[in-house]
Amino acid sequence: MDAKEIRRLKPELNRYLKQFADCFRRKDTQAHMPTYVEGQLSNLPRKSVEPIALAAGVPVRTLQEFLSQHVWDEDAVRQRVAQIVAKEHGGQRTIGIIDETSDVKKGDKTPGVQRQWCGCVGKTENCIVTVHLAFAKDDFHCLLDRELFLPESWSEDRDRCRGAGIPEEIVYRPKWQIALEQYDRAEANGVDFEWLTFDEGYGAKTPFLRALDAREQRYVGEVPVNLTGWLDMPKVTSRRTQKTGRPCNVPRLTKNSPRPRRIDLLLNEHPVLANQPWQPYRVKDGDKGPMVWEVKHARLIRPDSKGLPAETLHLLVARNVLAQDEVKFFFSNAPENTTVGQMLLIAFSRWRVERCFQDQKQDIGLDAWEGRRYIGLKRHLILSSVSYLFLARVRDKLREKKLRIDRIPSPRRRVRSGAKLVAQRSRICGTAGAHRKHDRVHATT
């Protein structure tokens, strides 16, 4: 936004930021929040502390101290973001999206920095990684929560952590545990996800999937090809087969029962999938036209920690029509009668969080942090959520205004504005499913 646009939206921005007033003990400290948020919303080429302070006519040191030294409750600000989203966008069709992003950093002083896989450049690089929880409903999306991933090398060096102001209770946790904590925080603040989705980095973690089951949270998540299972229920016995010896009450697979197999081998070799024709679906309208994927579906029995059959999940295999070497595998704990179309709707909604990352880095300055203190980085991440939520709310209102004004007839007149999230069968395959009341548009031919 330029200065003129910010002035025009200033009253609305002030009303929005007043919702966070009780998170600050002192009014002079609270007064710095609009300065930082307006700087993130501005058209400054670089949105780190120094250019934001200089543009606002505030001493650079003062704004630095606001982030790293002043007393205010950043956790309460984070909770308020979730509460606002829950109040304004709760209900059906809500999707939670778990993902991570990375930012290249120089030196070794930024909290959590080390040489590790850096997704934004596609190689191992000196960077920090943050785990995020996004929220999507219809055409609205935002980032609810984000947290620094602390590598083991940092966690084991407490002197280095103390030098960066990292509290003693902040230690290494796998990314899936961080994501689960974010999910629990969102739920505690009133956000109710109808669905959850994530990439294979999280889908590979069986404890994560079982934790979602324990929370009765429905999910459709991508998984790696080395996960195993059965397409036919194996036989289980609780007694020994030999004639001598004491009976054994521990269940085990019978001698002739097949062992669980990798899901990519099941795709190519088991008749249930190998003989099943690919069904094409239009999963999203991209910038270059419709994105069409071919899909196979089966019910998969997953093994427990002892190799015995446990829960039964949906297995979706999706192949890109234009690049058939690109194959994705998804697990879902949705009810048995859930349609493939509805599950694809969730599975291919991860572009929303990628869009959030792109917008926040280009427009908000998510990757512009240049400090060395953990509390400053944490507050920067939280304030970036505050700024982006304001942009999302403004965009939502402008879209509603446009829809009220623009009544030009079109073939999509009744489809409203959620078409990008709908998985549709192609013309040759008929209808995708019967869950009409949950979809923004009907998945029809």
Q: In this structure, is the dihedral angle defined by the CA atoms of residues 347, 118, 101 and 98, taken in order, positive or negative?
A: positive
The answer to whether 193 and 95 have CB atoms below 8 angstroms apart is yes
Beta-carbon contacts of 310 under 8 Å, excluding residues fewer than 6 positions away, are: 301, 302, 303, 304
List, for residues 346-355, the tens digit of each pLDDT value: 999 999 999 9
Which has the minimum average pLDDT: 73-77, 164-168, 252-256, 301-305?
Answer: 252-256
Looking at the predicted structure, is the pLDDT value of residue 445 above 50?
no
Mean pLDDT of all residues in 291-308: 92
Mean pLDDT of all residues in 7-29: 92
- Radius of gyration of the chain from its Cα atoms, rounded to whole angstroms: 25
Phi, psi of 128 (to 5 degrees): -115, 155
Looking at the predicted structure, is the pLDDT value of residue 69 above 90?
yes
pLDDT (0 to 100) of residue 239? 61
The answer to whether 388 and 360 have CB atoms below 8 angstroms apart is yes
The answer to whether 267 and 278 have CB atoms below 8 angstroms apart is no
Looking at the predicted structure, is the pLDDT value of residue 72 above 90?
yes
CA 361 and chain centroid, separation = 16
Mean pLDDT of all residues in 33-51: 93
- Which has more confidence, 403 or 385? 385
**Would you tell me how many other CB atoms lie within 10 Å of the CB of residue 5?**
13
Looking at the predicted structure, is the pLDDT value of residue 187 above 60?
yes
User: Residue 177 has which token pair?
Assistant: 């545990």
441 pLDDT tier (thresholds 50, 70, 90): very low
User: Residue 31 has which token pair?
Assistant: 């007064």
- Which has more confidence, 414 or 280? 280
The answer to whether 54 and 39 have CB atoms below 8 angstroms apart is no
How many DSSP H helices and E strands does the chain contain?
A: 16, 15
Euclidean distance between CA atoms 98 and 353, whole angstroms: 8
pLDDT (0 to 100) of residue 228? 95
Q: In this structure, is the dihedral angle defined by the CA atoms of residues 387, 389, 395 and 398, taken in order, positive or negative?
A: negative
Mean pLDDT of all residues in 343-362: 93
The answer to whether 298 and 276 have CB atoms below 8 angstroms apart is yes
Looking at the predicted structure, is the pLDDT value of residue 414 above 80?
no
pLDDT (0 to 100) of residue 31? 94
List, for residues 194-247, the tens digit of each pLDDT value: 999 999 999 999 999 999 999 999 999 999 999 999 999 888 887 655 555 565
410 pLDDT tier (thresholds 50, 70, 90): very low
| Domain edges within the chain | 3-199+353-399, 223-340
Mean pLDDT of all residues in 278-306: 88
pLDDT (0 to 100) of residue 395? 87
| Three-class secondary structure assignment of 168-190 | CCCCCCCHHHHHHHHHHHHHHCC
Give the residue among 132, 22, 8, 15 at the shortest CA–CA distance from 73. Answer: 22
Tell me the pLDDT of the chain averaged across its residues: 86
336 three-state secondary structure? coil
Longest dimension (CA), the chain: 89
pLDDT (0 to 100) of residue 7? 76
The percent of residues above 70 in pLDDT, for the chain, comes to 86
Euclidean distance between CA atoms 357 and 143, whole angstroms: 9
User: Residue 22 has which token pair?
Assistant: 């009780």
The percent of residues above 90 in pLDDT, for the chain, comes to 70
Mean pLDDT of all residues in 91-101: 94
Mean pLDDT of all residues in 400-423: 41
The answer to whether 384 and 364 have CB atoms below 8 angstroms apart is yes
pLDDT (0 to 100) of residue 290? 83
* Beta strand pairing call for 236-237 and 252-253: antiparallel
pLDDT (0 to 100) of residue 403? 52
List, for residues 124-168, the tens digit of each pLDDT value: 999 999 999 999 999 899 999 999 999 999 999 999 999 999 999
Looking at the predicted structure, is the pLDDT value of residue 428 above 90?
no
Looking at the predicted structure, is the pLDDT value of residue 288 above 80?
no
pTM listed for this prediction: 0.85
pLDDT (0 to 100) of residue 131? 96
Looking at the predicted structure, is the pLDDT value of residue 440 above 70?
no
- Which has more confidence, 304 or 181? 181
